[in-house]
Amino acid sequence: MKSKLIAIALTAGSLVAGAAPMQTITINTSKKGAAIPETMYGLFFEDINFGADGGLYAEKIKNRSFEFANPLQGWSIAGKVEVKNDGPFERNPHYVELKGTGHNDKHTAIVNEGFFGVSFEKDSVYDFSVYARVPDGGKAKIEVQLVDEATHGGNQTYASKKIEISGSEWTKYTCELTPSKTIHKGKLRIFLKKPENTVDLEHVSLFPRNNVNGLRTDLVQKLADLKPGVFRFPGGCIVEGTDLATRYQWKNTVGAPENRPLNENRWQYTFTHHFFPDYYQTYGLGFYEYFVLSELLGAAPLPVLNVGLSCQYQNHDMSAHVPVDELDPYIQDALDLIEFANGPVTSKWGALRAEMGHPEPFNMKYIGVGNEQWGPEYVERLAPFVKAIRAKYPEIKIIGSSGPDSEGDKFEYLWPEMKKVKVDLVDEHFYRPDEWFLSQGTRYDSYDRKGPKVFAGEYACHTKGHNQNHFGAALCEAAFMTGLERNADVVEMATYAPLFAHVDGWQWRPDMIWFDNLRSMPTASYYVQQMYGLNRGSRVVPTSIDKRPVAGLEGQNGLFATTAYDEATKQYIVKIVNTSDEAQEVKLDFKGLKGKFDKANVISFHAEDKDENTLDHPNTVKPVEYNELFDATAAPVVKVGAKTFKIFRF
Ligand code: AHR
């Protein structure tokens, strides 16, 4: 038989043939299992850990519109600088006025510290822009510089341009800067030059020319390399906000970026009580950009909206939430969002989408209502949303929540309620330790096939005591995910969380991709997601040991396995995770197969339990790919090392 075998394996430890009794995994090729949804393996994006501003959004200037609670936060000033608030952008009214001091040419200045530094690379082009005017008319000159941090008596300048400002009308000025040296933690400095006419500056911006729709190219590439089927945004807890005033409101995130009002980020406060006072959302990365990114990635967009509840962890008093009879504006936001995404260009919100550059609809099919909510207060708010969305947009699939826990009171209460409310999917969250992941291989086998589908919307293995992106945690995720795939008839989508973290400003760990201002690196969990995402297949093929699912059950030597058939490539894709400390030989008995295999393409992933990638050593943990040859057989014997995840494509 000419078909190829691809095996993906995560391996930890050397293989000692015969160390454990050989298991036979039966793959019943005469039975077609469930279709595997294209949405199965996706992405969860939230602006946590400086994932948006300071992260994916490529803007390098912090507090570019002078709208933080302290309008000069992120800026240092010299000479005569005054903050004013009657600027050209109604919803971001602050700006700065620079006046001469009569001293030297460089006395009045503003300096931006960026997000953990303004970083720039030698010979790369950076686009600077600023809105400016000379309030009394006439002309003035500024000088824009990229500098390093002052050491030994003064900053060194690595790029510099002069801009002449003229007239009293607010005008956008631009220039490009090409640094002569790479600096990881530099600054942007703007001087008022002589003759010192007063000048006003607003919305100071600096982007690397190398960006994708305003987003960091390296990070977008890492997302694309996962081939995600669904893209959930904008969170997470930020959907709820620290309070209702700071909840995520999508309408504030569309239209001209200069006029998108700033919002406090709910992750200024963390569960561990660290405080990040300079964490805000500029919404430069807003809903339009999220939809465009989903399209670019080929992922179904999945926006999540506030249900009228602020963060329930932080707000125990019902007065902090919207009364049920006052939900109309929130429901209208949901209906308007669907119009923004899918409506004709003649509709109000469809017209805005077209004006922003995308007349074609975004083909949105899913909407989440509420993030990690719980209790009757959630159910009674969700119900009117469902009614209104069903009435106007019956084709849209609605996602409800089963709360913050993978089981327990909140979870047990909500699942039946979600069935009653008739949502299409239920969003389950589980940040749990190794043992939990290894005990949940059959979690979805017993789920009701007639009820709502599952969206495993936030999950990650949190190894007790250290919560790091160790290989061992990723191996547990790989094992657990065999159960997602085997149950593709009930699990429609799954997204690891959180996605991004800045090494200098994180609030939550582990995360899938870590970065600093210039570099980024995939974690072991990233590779597990990628192995699944690139090897999804289209149909489940029933796979068992002695008629039982291969799910780390008693007598199965810590093996987990699932098989998919890829109708496009006509390949069987066998995923095996050996979570035991022993290398194992496994016979793959392809029952009912017409023909034999002589080869498999194998992806193998193994490292030591606590191995992890870092920005300085990004390749410590990485899968390897190779071909394995067999004597023509319908029952190949494969080797899976201890603590190893392997994928075999036959
Ligand atoms: O992913 C981090 C947080 O975990 C999310 O914001 C929230 O939904 C959950 O508690």
Helix (H, G, I), strand (E, B), or coil: what is residue 542? coil
Q: 55 pLDDT exceeds 50?
A: yes
Which amino acid is residue 219, in one-letter code? L
Confidence of residue 566 (pLDDT cuts 50, 70, 90): very high
Instruction: For ligand 1, atom 3, name the residue with the nearest CA.
Output: 236
For residue 641 and ligand 1, the question of a CB distance below 6 A is answered with no
pLDDT the model gives residue 52: 98
| Residue to mutate, 267, 271, 306, 372, ligand 1, most ligand atoms under 8 Å from C-beta | 372
Nearest one of 623, 621, 617 to 519, comparing CA atoms: 617
For residue 239 and ligand 1, the question of a CB distance below 6 A is answered with no
- 372 assigned to active site: yes
Closest-lying ligand 1 atom to the alpha carbon of residue 372: 8
Contact 550, 560 (CB under 8 A): yes
Confidence of residue 340 (pLDDT cuts 50, 70, 90): very high
Report how far ligand 1's centroid is from the alpha carbon of 237 (Å). Answer: 5
The pLDDT tens digits for 435-474 are 999 999 999 999 999 999 999 999 999 987 778 999 999 9
Sole residue written with tokens 């949190």: 462
For residue 496 and ligand 1, the question of a CB distance below 6 A is answered with no
| Residue to mutate, 240, 246, 371, ligand 1, most ligand atoms under 8 Å from C-beta | 371
For residue 37 and ligand 1, the question of a CB distance below 6 A is answered with no
Dihedral sign of CA atoms 76, 82, 84, 88 in order = negative
For residue 371 and ligand 1, the question of a CB distance below 6 A is answered with yes
What's the average model confidence in pLDDT over 168-184? 98
For residue 48 and ligand 1, the question of a CB distance below 6 A is answered with yes
Which amino acid is residue 162, in one-letter code? K
Beta-carbon count within 10 A of 272 CB: 7
Q: 357 pLDDT exceeds 60?
A: yes
Structure tokens given for 337: 């969002």
What 8-state DSSP symbol labels residue 266? G
Report how far ligand 1's centroid is from the alpha carbon of 236 (Å). Answer: 5
Confidence of residue 153 (pLDDT cuts 50, 70, 90): low
For residue 370 and ligand 1, the question of a CB distance below 6 A is answered with no
For residue 405 and ligand 1, the question of a CB distance below 6 A is answered with no
pLDDT the model gives residue 152: 63
For residue 508 and ligand 1, the question of a CB distance below 6 A is answered with yes
For residue 44 and ligand 1, the question of a CB distance below 6 A is answered with no
Q: 74 pLDDT exceeds 70?
A: yes
Q: How far apart are CA 393 and CA 238, in angstroms?
A: 26
Order of all β-strands in the sheet with 513-515: 500-502, 513-515, 520-522
Structure tokens given for 633: 């057989």
Q: Extract the runs of DSSP E, i.e. beta strands, from 94-220.
A: 95-99, 109-112, 118-120, 126-133, 139-147, 157-166, 171-177, 183-193, 199-208, 211-212, 215-216
Instruction: For ligand 1, atom 4, name the residue with the nearest CA.
Output: 236
| Residue to mutate, 45, 46, 410, ligand 1, most ligand atoms under 8 Å from C-beta | 46
Cα 141 to Cα 145, 187, 195: the distances in Å are 13, 20, 8
What's the average model confidence in pLDDT over 622-649? 97
What's the average model confidence in pLDDT over 199-221? 98
Report how far ligand 1's centroid is from the alpha carbon of 49 (Å). Answer: 11
Q: Is the peptide bond before 93 cis (omega within 30 degrees of 0)?
A: no
Q: How far apart are CA 201 and CA 134, in angstroms?
A: 9
What 8-state DSSP symbol labels residue 318? G
Q: 73 pLDDT exceeds 90?
A: yes
Q: How far apart are CA 298 and CA 301, in angstroms?
A: 9
pLDDT the model gives residue 19: 59
Q: 211 pLDDT exceeds 90?
A: yes
Report how far ligand 1's centroid is from the alpha carbon of 477 (Å). Answer: 18
Q: 64 pLDDT exceeds 80?
A: yes
- Beta carbons within 8 Å of 71's beta carbon, 6+ residues apart: 63, 83, 94, 96
Query: Which of the following is catalytic: 372, 417, 477, 582?
Result: 372
Q: 364 pLDDT exceeds 50?
A: yes
Q: 17 pLDDT exceeds 50?
A: no
Q: Count of residues for the chain?
A: 650
Nearest one of 515, 432, 442, 391 to 49, comparing CA atoms: 515
What's the average model confidence in pLDDT over 101-115? 88
What's the average model confidence in pLDDT over 357-367? 98
Report how far ligand 1's centroid is from the alpha carbon of 456 (Å). Answer: 13
Confidence of residue 272 (pLDDT cuts 50, 70, 90): low
In a 13 Å sphere around the CA of 53, the CA atoms on its Cβ side amount to 22
Q: 190 pLDDT exceeds 60?
A: yes
- Is this structure's pTM higher than 0.85? yes
Nearest one of 47, 499, 508 to 289, comparing CA atoms: 47
